Amino acid sequence: MKKLAFLIMIVLATSAAWAASKRPAVVKLSEENVTLELTFKNGKKLVVTSKGTKLKAGTYLVKAARLLKRDKKKRLWEMRSAGTLRTLATLTVLSGQEKVLVTGGKIHYAYFIWPNKRDGKLKVLFRFTAQGGYGEVYYPGAYLNRKRPPMPAYRITTGGGKVLAEGRLKLNPSGLGTYSWPVPTGLTENCRIAIKPTMGPFEWEPASKTFSPQPRN
């Protein structure tokens, strides 16, 4: 009888462990009122909200990402991935795990500024990326009704507020907004570049950055 009871305990424990290993994970978004849609390389999609979505345990390769958010008028805006997905490119979940994805809140605009002098001409190259919580790069602006927004407007001013240049950034294949600015002769003081993307209800930062137009020695 003891042996039988012991065997039954082993069978029950094994069954419980097997059942636990088959439990799906739950993937959640850290932000409310935002939806994250991931498209995997196998063609399947995963829609994630703060309420959670069940997903079979495993490792998934992500091909594209979209952030969706409605404004006060209930219009649907979206941020579409463009370029690298960084650490969001691979999603690994364990059986029974609650996985919280920290993205979809405030979009961060990263500024890359390179003053350089070639053939006696001084220029400053600007590059901008709109990044999510994992460093994933989005098109620099929010789509409304699936219509791509214009590239962000830019304005370069002196410390005193004098406008030196303004217009719209250009888009390169890597999802970067770019602009090459010919520096006025004799300009040495620090300047400021401000951008204004179309973001709808999405929060974003920073709106401007101070820089030196002179190359570093």
Angle among Cα 192, 158, 166 to the nearest 5 degrees reads 70
What is the average pLDDT value for the chain, to the nearest integer? 90
In the chain, list all ranges with CATH 2.60.40.1930: 107-211
What's the whole-number mean pLDDT along residues 130-142?
Answer: 95
Pick the closest to residue 68 from 104, 14, 93, 98 (CA basis).
104
DSSP structure string for 184-212: PTT--S-EEEEEE---TT--EE--EEEE-
Indicate the pTM of the whole model: 0.86
Strands of the sheet containing 53-55, edge to edge, are 53-55, 25-29, 98-101
Distance (Å, whole) CA 129 – CA 85: 12
107-211: CATH topology: Immunoglobulin-like (2.60.40)
Q: Is 86 helix (H, G, I), strand (E, B) or coil?
A: helix
Q: How far are the Cα atoms of 18, 38, 144, 168 from residue 198, in angstroms, in the given order?
A: 50, 23, 10, 12
**Is pLDDT above 90 for 22?**
no
**Is pLDDT above 80 for 131?**
yes
pLDDT digits (tens, 9 = 90+) for 162-189: 999 999 999 987 778 999 999 999 999 9
Peptide bond into 206 cis (omega under 30): yes
pLDDT tier, 3 (very low <50, low <70, confident <90, very high otherwise): low
pLDDT at 42: 96
pLDDT at 8: 52
**Is pLDDT above 60 for 207?**
yes
pLDDT digits (tens, 9 = 90+) for 63-115: 999 999 999 999 999 999 998 999 999 999 999 999 999 998 899 999 999 99
2-101: CATH topology: Immunoglobulin-like (2.60.40)
